[in-house]
Amino acid sequence: GAGVSQTPSNKVTEKGKYVELRCDPISGHTALYWYRQSLGQGPEFLIYFQGTGAADDSGLPNDRFFAVRPEGSVSTLKIQRTERGDSAVYLCASSLPSGRKYNEQFFGPGTRLTVL
């Protein structure tokens, strides 16, 4: 079956603009994660969804970042008033429900965001 997909693969925008990044998880995966990977760094956790609700958004850096998953499948990460420091690769991952044990997270190819 298809893996996690993310669109667009690349996004170039200007400082101050609004962007949306989309993630399509593996069918049947109720857990969905967003990570951000800056140049030379490992991925950093942003937010986790279990179903439609955000179970933990403690990794979102500030209130310019927001994510939704209205039907429990596709998720959109939204960034308002982009800044040059937001430039990074944004990774999405999905897994079977994560309760008291870890289920393998399957990663998408990422969206490379460049803010000029």
Partner 1 sequence: AQRVTQPEKLLSVFKGAPVELKCNYSYSGSPELFWYVQYSRQRLQLLLRHISRESIKGFTADLNKGETSFHLKKPFAQEEDSAMYYCALSGGAGAGGTSYGKLTFGQGTILTVHP
Q: Can you give the binding site for partner 1, defined by CB under 8 A?
A: 3, 31, 33, 35, 40-45, 48, 50, 55-56, 91, 95, 98-110
| Residue with smaller CB distance to partner 1, 27 or 102 | 102
Q: Which tokens belong to 97?
A: 């429900």
- Minimum CB separation of residue 88 from partner 1 in Å reads 13
Closer CB to partner 1, 82 or 105, in the complex = 105
Beta carbon of residue 17, minimum distance to partner 1 (angstroms, whole number)? 27
- Beta strands (DSSP E) in the chain are 5-7, 10-13, 19-24, 31-37, 44-50, 53-56, 65-68, 75-79, 88-95, 106-107, 111-115
Ramachandran angles phi, psi of 16, nearest 5°: 95, -15
State which residue, 13 or 109, has the beta carbon closest to partner 1.
Answer: 109
Find out whether 108 and 3 touch, Cβ atoms under 8 Å.
yes
Q: How far is the CB of 64 from partner 1 (least distance, A)?
A: 21
Smaller CB distance to partner 1: residue 30 or 82?
A: 30
| CB 21 to partner 1: min, Å | 16
Closest CA to 60 of 79, 73, 83: 79
